[in-house]
Structure 1
Amino acid sequence: MISTSAGVRRTYYVLELGNTLAASLIWGINTIFLLDAGLSNLEAFAANAFFTAGMVLFEVPTGVVADMWGRRASFLLGTVTLAVTTALYVLLWQIEAPFWQWAVVSLLLGLGFTFFSGAVEAWLVDALTATGYQGQLEAVFARGQAISGAGMLVGSVAGGYIAQLINLGAPFVLRAAILALMFVAASLLMRDLGFTPRRDLRPLAEIREIVASSVEYGWRVPAVKYLMLAAPFTGGVGVYVFYALQPHLLDLYGNPEAYGVAGLAAALVAGAQIVGGLVTPRIRRLFRRRTSALLAIEGASVVVILLLGLLTSFWAALVLVAVWGLLFAAAMPIRQAYLNGLIPSQQRATILSFDSLMGSSGGIVTQPLLGRAADVWGYPASFLFSSAVQVLALPFVARSRAQRAPADSDVAATPTP
């Protein structure tokens, strides 16, 4: 059993690396995979929207699993669910299934990811507290993000070229196999520390308590509420842009079957994630308050997405993708540290899951609408619409900043993670 903060961090890094490697194998070719199965842009992004809807629907019930059975149990259930639904995706692709079947499996795929959201982050923070960690959370989140970026870089590049050498279904098969290995790794390494599962509660009573806690410690805390209200705009646009970049880059490149090139979008985001994770502590020191950093970064992201819609050069698009990924990677650890500083330990998994739910909810609406815009006017126009949607997040971050919460200006020394 891990009993030191160093052991907790190492386990967290292993879980982040393995999960991201598995997930990212299909990130570079997912949209192309769906289009190859006979779906239109509207249907492909509607399938993604059903995935997002699954995350929204199951966030609270899987939060119950994390609270009643433990964060480790939630992680294990997530690996199993994702492995099975990933295999079903391959089956649907082979038989060119109708859209409704893609919708159902995508919904269940969202269920798999909700077992991870909130639970893993809450496990880390509580376990670090239980083992006496005295450092700054940004450092751990940033290192984890850099490691995840390495996994994403390898996975996205490998997935693109595996698809090009074998077929579009091969990366999905490999993903399911790696998830099975992660089940074994988590069984051996992950233990709940600093948190005792509450198995005495009934599920429905626990759901009511979670909803009440989300309102009490999240929605009724202005700094938390406004940060969460910004999430649907940034989350919905972020997932659309990431997946729309795959066919858009192929259009700019001029070869619709160069799947390795499509994987470059995910690879560039992964490389930017590594760099962003490493430079986040430095970026944080440029701003006295965390929300000031978030406003600057998210404002710059709006401009980058706008330029993606305006410029038609393949190489310029690659540069913009790298910058966009760097901005996203720099913002996430700062936002995570800010949010965790605003919420109490006992409700941490609950509020983090609710925050994830808010971010996912934006994708339910934006993905099919922006996908339809791509069908009618093309991908560049859909990026212009995306920038207009994301700019709506900025006033909410500014309102969170106006609350002057202590967590906004925490300047604890950055340790060696």
Structure 2
Amino acid sequence: MTATPASIKRIYYLLTVGNTLAASLIWGINTIFLLDAGLNNLEAFAANAFFTAGMVLFEVPTGIVADLRGRRASFLLGTLTLAVTTGLYVLLWHLHAPFWQWAVVSALLGLGFTFFSGATEAWLVDALTATGFDGQLDAVFGRAQMASGMAMLAGSVGGGYLAQLTNLGVPFVVRAGVLVVMFVVAAVVMRDIGFTPNRGGRPIAEIRRIVSDSVDYGWRVPTVRYLMLAAPFVGGVGVYVFYALQPYLLELWGDPQAYGVAGLVAALLSAAQIAGGFLTGRIRGLFRRRSSALLAAAVLSVMVVVLIGLIANFWVVLTLIMLWGLLWAAATPIRQAFINSLIPSRQRATILSFDSLMSSTGGVVAQPILGRSADVWSYPTSYVISGVISAFAWPFLALARKQQAPSDTAVTTIDPTPSDDLAVAGQPT
């Protein structure tokens, strides 16, 4: 069957839905699961920090795997790794294992996710370019955000109530099963299009070349660099904000066993994600520059997170959570389109993985600190601190805007070459 932009988008949406469904089955209960296993707040968020540390450690190597051996191979490795490590999580929960074992398995979970980050997105953009796509990349990512939100809605509600009806381990078992199904689906429908893996090259020499090119076409491009420097403060804190909501809202609700409430909260964030994906195009239309939209969303997000900490009322906090999720969901496709328009195909997966690494680095540092602040003071205090930390992203987003990269205002550019957009943006030629 001949690939077309429409078929490529359908496959991407299918992969996105499957991955999100698997992941979201435990999003509403993950922190509660860790606390039920005998960990305290510091240890639970330290385990999450080891997960993000695993992403930091493996992001670039797995991005290189995707650039050397293919995006499809990377995706398949990710599904298998996550299925196995999710099963190990259930085993540790049954055994009430010591913290060091949670740390090791959490880092391996991070390895599984790094096979996805960069590779799936790079597969989409390369395949769309090869099949003559001339539409708006922001819109494609926006629709994927909506599809992901629907999957998150089903997974988070289902996972929360499944845990309440059975036990906290069952959603993790179901998640492993969904990942096995996704392995089979990807093996059948996913092919590298518009990108030819260099399987015949010498691995060490190829790794050096890719890393060198990724620095040249990624970090040394001012706009890309500033977007990456903002990521630790936005993404790193965002992980804590999301996972701390589970015990915090149960605390506000007054029933620590109401796992269904935790799942429902994740579902509300899913609804916000669907709405955010739907509104991406409209929000993008309000700003001449993508960077302006990102900066506005970052400012409003900080305000919302601080208010979550200052107003200890369940229904008010619930409303603020939805607003926070809406801002994040609307901004993410804009950022994806922006950064993809600044990097070339050959190094795309590695650069996107490095971008994800920057976000994960923030999570490694922020989560234990914020988890400890929740233990020592309270969850509301930790949210106020989270807002303050997030505000450090503002100067970097402002600097990205100051570069006035041509793709900052473009709506269709998806595969620049070093001779045009990158050169103008400050890329050494």
Name the TM-score class by shorter chain: over 0.9
Length-normalised TM-score, structure 2: 0.95
**Residue of structure 1 in register with 2:239 after alignment:** 239
Q: Aligned-pair distance for 1:203?
A: 3.1
Q: AA paired with 1:43?
A: E
Question: d(CA) in 2 for partners of 1:351 and 1:71?
Answer: 14
Q: Aligned-pair distance for 1:65?
A: 1.5
Report SS of the residue matched to 2:256: coil
Q: Aligned-pair distance for 1:43?
A: 0.4
Q: Aligned-pair distance for 1:205?
A: 2.7
Length-normalised TM-score, structure 1: 0.98
Q: Report Cα offsets for 1:10-64 as digits up to 9, x if no partner.
A: 0000000011000000000000000000001110000000000111111111112
The answer as to 2:173 corresponding to 1:134 is no
**Residue of structure 2 in register with 1:379 after alignment:** 379
Equivalences for 1:94-133 in 2 at 5 Å? 94-133=94-133
Q: AA paired with 2:199?
A: R
Q: AA paired with 1:200?
A: G
Question: d(CA) in 1 for partners of 2:235 and 2:175?
Answer: 24
Q: Aligned-pair distance for 1:218?
A: 1.3
**Residue of structure 2 in register with 1:333 after alignment:** 333
Q: AA paired with 2:117?
A: S
**Residue of structure 1 in register with 2:230 after alignment:** 230
Q: Report Cα offsets for 1:217-247 as digits up to 9, x if no partner.
A: 1111111100100000001110000000000
Question: d(CA) in 1 for partners of 2:371 and 2:205?
Answer: 39
Q: Aligned-pair distance for 1:319?
A: 0.3
Q: Could you tell me the percent identity over the aligned residues? A: 70
**Residue of structure 2 in register with 1:390 after alignment:** 390
Q: Aligned-pair distance for 1:350?
A: 1.5
Question: d(CA) in 2 for partners of 1:205 and 1:370?
Answer: 41
Greater mean alpha carbon deviation, residues 270-279 or residues 57-66: 57-66
Question: d(CA) in 2 for partners of 1:289 and 1:237?
Answer: 25
**Residue of structure 2 in register with 1:181 after alignment:** 181
Question: d(CA) in 2 for partners of 1:204 and 1:94?
Answer: 42
Question: d(CA) in 2 for partners of 1:225 and 1:333?
Answer: 18
**Residue of structure 2 in register with 1:33 after alignment:** 33
Report SS of the residue matched to 1:342: coil
CA RMSD in angstroms, aligned pairs only: 1.0
**Residue of structure 2 in register with 1:171 after alignment:** 171
Q: Report Cα offsets for 1:298-329 as digits up to 9, x if no partner.
A: 10000000000001110001101100000000
Report SS of the residue matched to 2:341: helix
> Which contiguous aligned blocks of 4+ residues in structure 1 show a shift greater than 2 angstroms?
200-211
Greater mean alpha carbon deviation, residues 193-202 or residues 302-311: 193-202
The answer to whether the Cα contact below 8 Å between 1:60 and 1:207 also exists between their aligned partners in 2 is: no
**Residue of structure 1 in register with 2:425 after alignment:** none
Equivalences for 1:314-329 in 2 at 5 Å? 314-329=314-329
Report SS of the residue matched to 2:394: helix
Report SS of the residue matched to 1:227: helix
Could you list the runs of 5+ residues in structure 2 that have no partner in the other structure?
Answer: 414-429
Q: AA paired with 1:312?
A: A
Q: Aligned-pair distance for 1:117?
A: 0.3
Q: Report Cα offsets for 1:361-393 as digits up to 9, x if no partner.
A: 100000000000000001100000000000000
Q: AA paired with 2:211?
A: V
Equivalences for 1:1-400 in 2 at 5 Å? 1=1, 3-400=3-400
The answer to whether the Cα contact below 8 Å between 2:134 and 2:412 also exists between their aligned partners in 1 is: no
Q: Report Cα offsets for 1:165-205 as digits up to 9, x if no partner.
A: 00000000000000000001001110100000011233333
Q: Report Cα offsets for 1:75-133 as digits up to 9, x if no partner.
A: 00000000000000000000000000000000000000000000000000000011111
Q: AA paired with 2:391?
A: V
Question: d(CA) in 2 for partners of 1:251 and 1:403?
Answer: 45
Question: d(CA) in 1 for partners of 2:93 and 2:411?
Answer: 50
The answer to whether the Cα contact below 8 Å between 2:67 and 2:347 also exists between their aligned partners in 1 is: no
Question: d(CA) in 1 for partners of 2:73 and 2:382?
Answer: 40
Could you list the runs of 5+ residues in structure 1 that have no partner in the other structure?
Answer: none
Greater mean alpha carbon deviation, residues 310-319 or residues 199-208: 199-208
The answer to whether the Cα contact below 8 Å between 1:2 and 1:8 also exists between their aligned partners in 2 is: no
Q: Aligned-pair distance for 1:2?
A: 5.3
Aligned residues, how many? 413
Q: AA paired with 1:160?
A: G
Question: d(CA) in 1 for partners of 2:224 and 2:2?
Answer: 32
The answer to whether the Cα contact below 8 Å between 1:5 and 1:133 also exists between their aligned partners in 2 is: yes
Question: d(CA) in 2 for partners of 1:163 and 1:206?
Answer: 46
Q: Aligned-pair distance for 1:265?
A: 2.4
